[in-house]
Structure 1
């Protein structure tokens, strides 16, 4: 079998701006894992002896023949690119051909490998300084590769002394493995520390199903997962270098978010961005994610979000940072728009995650059976009451909505909670904050001020309060000593008796969006207000069309879910009748 690892041409070497930076145990683990993934491995075993400065990574990948093994640690040697044009078509995690060579200058390197289709066994190669093979011998090994790094930084004692403590380094190793695993959820990971099993990650069909193994406090039901096919940017082929090959398939966007009414973080430490199988740092894309969760979380809380873009390689310049984590992304604004749209879709309650209501479900029967003894009575709405033929006339294009009556109002409890039936169970919706979410998004989309006659007179405002009202475009002017006249107000406050108190509330600070939240909160239906069944249904219809229906603008959850499966478990409907009667 001929060698697939070859030295790069000089002109390609000059185009590569930097070699691999090996500065810690975590960077060694990362480089070796990336090689395993490029080899198609589905099972990777990592062993670390931190105090001995030793790392071993074993995989079940495609393996290397003897020719490749002898060339593997040479400078600028790789099987992943061949020419300058290949730098614009990077589909692998490694491509510079420098990682193993760099390791031979910092540590002792040994590789055992056997190709998957080899009947003659494998080979063991030990490399000297600079990557030259010094020991080559046959070895009994299963198909795959085992790479061992020993005595790391042994000739650089000052570098060892400058590194963090062993505990901190091992924490960095764990974080590095977790980040790579999120990008490759199909892989089985076994990690050992000092000959003891440290942790394992079982393979999962999707990143969302893998995430609870990494964030143990997060449950599967706390997450929403979305995968979309995304067209390539319309201008992606302009000004391309000659000789570049153009991929034809569309890109894809995978998103895993923690539902804001169920899980969030004290710190902004769990917004992660990956592109083509590699975790990257992108302040612009991360800020886009934070913006997408604005006014959905409680104060001083941050989202959980993992974004993975699988895009055409010619849209990325990987050759910007030695660790390949800081990249240049073409058409950045286009991808930001796609991410914002995906987050909105994932947060929405629509026909994608709620099926059309079926009124003969067991939950419906359960409610009906409880009507005679319950503290409330259920009135079934007529089908004509719930038709809203003009409700979507001016909706923005591309928004997905639930099927008609996918949420069905059946009762009101304590004049505060709306009992809602849907195909998957039942919800309790808090009417005030549901209406607050509706009004806030209306205000956000159309902040309208109307003139009032006569003017509203306010007393003893401070200069800061006057400036705050002017900042949100309230027309206010002196009307005498310690008196101020307000000439216009937000349209929603026009019919309220407490309009003056609302204006005073707006004067205490905050930006325009804070003012919009305050107006929405003051204008929303109060708890304790009785509603008719048609009024409840109208509120539900308006609420389920909002962009962020899971929480109010302050971050409070709007509904409590009682799933059909949970009700079945509670009432033990899965019992066998004979056994439940002692037979």
Structure 2
């Protein structure tokens, strides 16, 4: 006979709940750091002693007085929500009041704190129920220091089930990196066994944080974009009055690695954050990966950090104790916004090239200096045109062709070398994707000695093919761009060698694009440059190769020492 159903003792209930919230050293760090950020801390110091199962987090936040300290570790005590309705408008990182109580259950918890206007600080050591066991007045700077020692000391089975210390420390580091990206204004100091482990300096944007995390990435390899978004619209296109978020607080922030400069072997740096917290969002992650399709080399993945500021009533955080899984309303709207933002960030425009603005300022300074001295320059040759129209594309002017392969293009920020074949390939590929069309051919193209797999491949991409004789097949429809080419049969053989429709479209674009070694006139070069600029992803070809090499004006100025003072450079 099974045992009768009965109520669990309160201490068992609390221990089960504590084990869901605190399941590793990384979880301890996450919960304590989130509390520090909620206290408006701008400097956070994290100390770890993994062999001793001890973690300490110190911050310079607003601190707590004695009354708050006495309640801080009791079950479900929090300063962040008051009633049921508050669950639908959460703006803080913590709100359940579970973290400190769970730590009291699973460790020896001590908190020292003082408010900015307090005359003295207080130290409290808590018992296993989160009640104050020892209270002591201490001298301490304003802020809070939380120490959890002998973690999982009351639950030794959990210790045995955790990974080795090295793996746990790696998880702690990843947790801090993720939170630092979401809160770039914070200074982070992390110590391990009383020695400096790593630091993260503050910045204005996540773009300044990412190179401190990925050491092989430079600031110039990244592109940042921040957009203020309109109020959400419903399916009928009308403004959604149920989401009255002010325009200044609803935004999309994007930091991505430029595909012609950096990428990864795995999709491990496609990250999504919402309202200050990194979250799991498979839909948005797949949207990001799809937006980089055919911009990276084969089997390479983008670097992208997306941070959404969304109306709190559009998010349900109450899905998992770690608060890493959420329910996000209007997911289709956000997928559309993310796709458009990535396309905009990958454009080659004045806004996306800070060197352009820098060079313009340098030019103005040089002009002003020359006008006030006897050192004058004639600037009547080729005045610089204003940037292009609605999407802010900069003016590119074809100057010449090198080895009938590279187009030399001049623009306000310097000079580019553009490889003509892959630039044209990008143009044609996007045209094909937007208007893929198969047309009949007369007479049909006859292919011989095809394997069954090759025949099946041509049928898979939509071509009409039928047996024409022994080891002969007649192809009666072909991609429109190949229909009038003399090498159409060879191109069809290439298409038969495998891949999906997108691979076939890339092959057609590559076959159709002008070849390197082809001489072009200046008008032809100019037309190609303009068509290439207006593509969605102008930085790389569909195979992921970079299309242009930039020689920026500021770099040229440094190389030719144009920053030298005229008199001093002559030894005067």
Matched, 1:197 2:196: yes
| Contact kept in structure 1, 2:387 and 2:393, CA below 8 Å | no
Tell me, in whole angstroms, the C-alpha distance in 1 between the residues paired with 2:91 and 2:250. 13
| Contact kept in structure 2, 1:20 and 1:98, CA below 8 Å | no
CA RMSD between the two structures: 2.8
Instruction: Report SS of the residue matched to 2:554.
Output: helix
| Contact kept in structure 1, 2:264 and 2:301, CA below 8 Å | yes
Q: Residues 464 and 167 of structure 1: is their aligned pair in 2 closer, same or farther, counting only changes over 3 Å?
A: same
Tell me, in whole angstroms, the C-alpha distance in 2 between the residues paired with 1:430 and 1:561. 12
Tell me, in whole angstroms, the C-alpha distance in 1 between the residues paired with 2:533 and 2:68. 59
Q: Deviations over 1:383-410 (max 9, x none)?
A: 99x999xxx9xxxxxx83515xx11111
The aligned residue for residue 271 of structure 1 is: 270
Structure 1 residues 282-431: aligned runs within 5 Å: 282-353=281-352, 400=391, 402=393, 406-431=395-420
The aligned residue for residue 260 of structure 2 is: 261
Q: Residues 382 and 114 of structure 1: is their aligned pair in 2 closer, same or farther, counting only changes over 3 Å?
A: closer
Q: Deviations over 1:229-261 (max 9, x none)?
A: 122322399xxxxxx995444620000000000
Matched, 1:37 2:76: no
Offset at residue 452 of structure 1 (A): 1.3
Structure 1 residues 23-34: aligned runs within 5 Å: 23-34=23-34
Offset at residue 491 of structure 1 (A): 1.2
Tell me, in whole angstroms, the C-alpha distance in 2 between the residues paired with 1:185 and 1:575. 36
Tell me, in whole angstroms, the C-alpha distance in 2 between the residues paired with 1:442 and 1:272. 31
| Contact kept in structure 1, 2:384 and 2:412, CA below 8 Å | no
Instruction: Report SS of the residue matched to 1:516.
Output: helix
Tell me, in whole angstroms, the C-alpha distance in 2 between the residues paired with 1:560 and 1:258. 17
The aligned residue for residue 370 of structure 2 is: none
The aligned residue for residue 55 of structure 2 is: 55
Structure 1 residues 108-187: aligned runs within 5 Å: 108-118=108-118, 120-187=119-186
| Contact kept in structure 1, 2:360 and 2:413, CA below 8 Å | no
The aligned residue for residue 3 of structure 2 is: none
Tell me, in whole angstroms, the C-alpha distance in 2 between the residues paired with 1:561 and 1:551. 13
Structure 1 residues 90-105: aligned runs within 5 Å: 90-105=90-105
Structure 1 residues 407-556: aligned runs within 5 Å: 407-556=396-545
Instruction: Report SS of the residue matched to 2:481.
Output: helix
Tell me, in whole angstroms, the C-alpha distance in 2 between the residues paired with 1:226 and 1:546. 19
Tell me, in whole angstroms, the C-alpha distance in 2 between the residues paired with 1:330 and 1:575. 57
Instruction: Report SS of the residue matched to 2:226.
Output: strand
Q: Residues 387 and 60 of structure 1: is their aligned pair in 2 closer, same or farther, counting only changes over 3 Å?
A: closer
Q: Residues 416 and 323 of structure 1: is their aligned pair in 2 closer, same or farther, counting only changes over 3 Å?
A: same
| Contact kept in structure 2, 1:358 and 1:422, CA below 8 Å | no
Instruction: Report SS of the residue matched to 1:77.
Output: coil
Runs of 4+ in 1 over 6 A off after TM superposition: 356-362, 380-384
Q: Residues 358 and 497 of structure 1: is their aligned pair in 2 closer, same or farther, counting only changes over 3 Å?
A: farther
Offset at residue 216 of structure 1 (A): 0.8
**Matched pairs, number:** 534
Q: Give the unaligned 5+ runs of structure 2.
A: 1-12, 237-241, 364-380
Q: Deviations over 1:268-319 (max 9, x none)?
A: 1111110000001111111111001000000111100000000001111101
Q: Deviations over 1:320-361 (max 9, x none)?
A: 111000111111111111111111111111342356999999
Q: Deviations over 1:92-123 (max 9, x none)?
A: 000000100011111111111111122x2111
Q: Deviations over 1:23-57 (max 9, x none)?
A: 11111011000000000000101111111111111
Offset at residue 381 of structure 1 (A): 9.7
Offset at residue 453 of structure 1 (A): 1.3
Tell me, in whole angstroms, the C-alpha distance in 2 between the residues paired with 1:180 and 1:123. 28
Tell me, in whole angstroms, the C-alpha distance in 1 between the residues paired with 2:521 and 2:362. 24
Tell me, in whole angstroms, the C-alpha distance in 1 between the residues paired with 2:564 and 2:32. 52
Tell me, in whole angstroms, the C-alpha distance in 1 between the residues paired with 2:128 and 2:387. 78
Q: Deviations over 1:417-464 (max 9, x none)?
A: 001111111110000000000000000000011221111111121221
Instruction: Report SS of the residue matched to 2:551.
Output: strand
| Contact kept in structure 2, 1:72 and 1:78, CA below 8 Å | yes
Instruction: Report SS of the residue matched to 2:334.
Output: helix
Tell me, in whole angstroms, the C-alpha distance in 2 between the residues paired with 1:221 and 1:436. 26
Tell me, in whole angstroms, the C-alpha distance in 1 between the residues paired with 2:235 and 2:255. 27
Q: TM-score, normalised by structure 1?
A: 0.87
